[in-house]
Structure 1
Amino acid sequence: MNEQLWAPAKVGEIPLEHRLAMAPMTRDRSTPEGVPTDLNALYYAQRSSTALIITEGTQPSADGQGYLLTPGIHTDEQVAGWRRVTDAVHDAGGRIVVQLMHVGRIAHPANTPHGRQPVAPSAVRPAGAMFTLQGPQEMPEPRQLSTEEVAATVEDFRAAAARAIAAGADGVEIHGANGYLVHQFLAGNTNRRTDRYGGSAENRIRFAVEVATAVADEIGAGRTGIRLSPGNPFNDIAEDDTRELYPALVRALAPLNLAYLHVAHGGDEELVRELRSLWPTAFLLNRPGADLDTRVRDITSGLADVITVGVMALANPDLVERLRTGAPLNTPDPQTFYGGDERGYTDYPALSR
């Protein structure tokens, strides 16, 4: 494996031993109250040899939840749960940032303790069904956030970032990808607003920039990252202006000097290279489905400073050792990706077992 992969790096204020990081992956194994458990702490600690762990999406507020058993970071109990996780990772020599994910319209009231209607940039119902304890149910039409509520949601992200640092995290990643709330403000089919947050590209990027600004102001730009997925249709997103919108967004974010930009490659190589050229700090890249050699070439070519992997890290708690020694990789079990117990979560074998 190319030695550049194992060279040290620095992401903002976070020093990394090498350049292979763990991508965020929803696992649905927190308590119904959104509190991380000892099992979650073990899962992340097992994978602490990756250069940086980016946690599963974590709701910054009660209205930010959409799935069953996802963690939050807006109550004292949740902060205490995350402290167990961060302590376990740090004790194992790792680095960890908490991904802040407000799901927006990708939600069902049956999955939340409060049972409220989901909120979104606009009252546009998403296609598809949401898994609930009562079985799959169509997601309802969300309630449009008022202009004042948008500003309040920005403050929810700020407060959640402060709580993540109080819980011992090395930083936070703002989830601006995959069809969730920040992405919903960016996309024309989900953002039909007529106030300062809708219409032009300049207005549609405003929420993302305000969230990033608030979080960086609260915890420091050197501990703040953001994830984007240009052109990703996941969660009923339709974007027809990615070549205009994402360079505009990255130009607006660049002066903040955030720790990193994390891009999920959607197939538009030219756009990804443009975003890389516009970004002044660390550039993290995830190529879903790509083989490792292809991903490593992103480092050797200078396209990425750090690469992130998801399923490989999920199924191999000692992924770094396996790659360094050429050992075979475990086969992931998709049936246990979401929800359940230790099976398919903390019981994947390590070489030392």
Structure 2
Amino acid sequence: MVCAYRIATVQLAHLGRKEDAENLLLAHLARHPQAETAATVAEVRWRSHDDAGAADVLAHPPATLTRRDFREIGERFAAVFRGRPAPDVKRAMEALLQAGIQPQSILELGPPLAKAGAAAQAFELYALLSQKMPSEKSAGVLFKAWGALRAGKGASAAESWLRKQLGPDPSALADNELATSAYGERLDDALWELFHNRPPEPAFADRLALLRAASIVRRGERGARRDALLKELADPLARWKAALARSIGLSGAYASWEVRLARYVLGEGREDDFADEASDGSRPCEAPYYFGVRAAAETRVRDAAAWYRVALECRNPEQPEFIWAYRAASTLEQDRGLPAKLVQAAR
């Protein structure tokens, strides 16, 4: 019945019979005060170019709208706006924000647009929301906008836009946040495309090498990027230098923690090589996550689950590797050969 109402009201909207569609919608909403009905009302109002009306029903729904509901609304939104001019998306977003809907909820409307190939429309959505999100989440949304613009207009235009948002001289801290967000959003190409024109600050260069190594390994990439990174990190005496430096207490005499961890991720050495240092600072989250990345790439699923569990034991949601370990552990559920208890333990 709900589907029949949706079809009927959408057809009426297509025929330009807005008043008939609206009357049918309101009657349907009164009889079925559900989240799905509110989504249908919003969809039909969007089709009728009534952005304010669509925003109003979503801001005052007959039932609380969950994240899953907004994902469904996103599918409806994409069906309406993927063929519309991109500025129409911005106006619809502004109406939703003005109605008091939280930016985090509106963000769920973006992926269906991108999936539908509506890159310009997705860019408008993400670019606007990047200005409305809390500071700790804005970098991630900026990268979503970058990805949409890159899909629509190419890497050069996307990089130029992103650099403009960041200002003429972004700090090493800003670069670190950008690279971390790019990895977290799985926008792996950004780890190369955004940091190729200027030599990075040394500490950030090491962090970037680690993220690039993890990106290559988790995607199983074999090619020029992997070869170039291996060459950049290569040092046949690395393990000997590290052992000697540790024995005499001269930490600066060998490669940084990040560089050594990057080498490990790419296949060099063992977990035991890090045992003496893995408990310092943020490392209880970092080391086991990257151990898990390598284990997963080598199809050692049980080992990967165990390492992700260790990473989660740091219980620090401010640490990006903690978040990534949780996500990675969750994906292991898709492996039917993994015992349920082990997956739960990794959470």
TM-score, length-scaled by structure 1: 0.29
**Which structure: larger Rg?**
2
TM-score, length-scaled by structure 2: 0.29
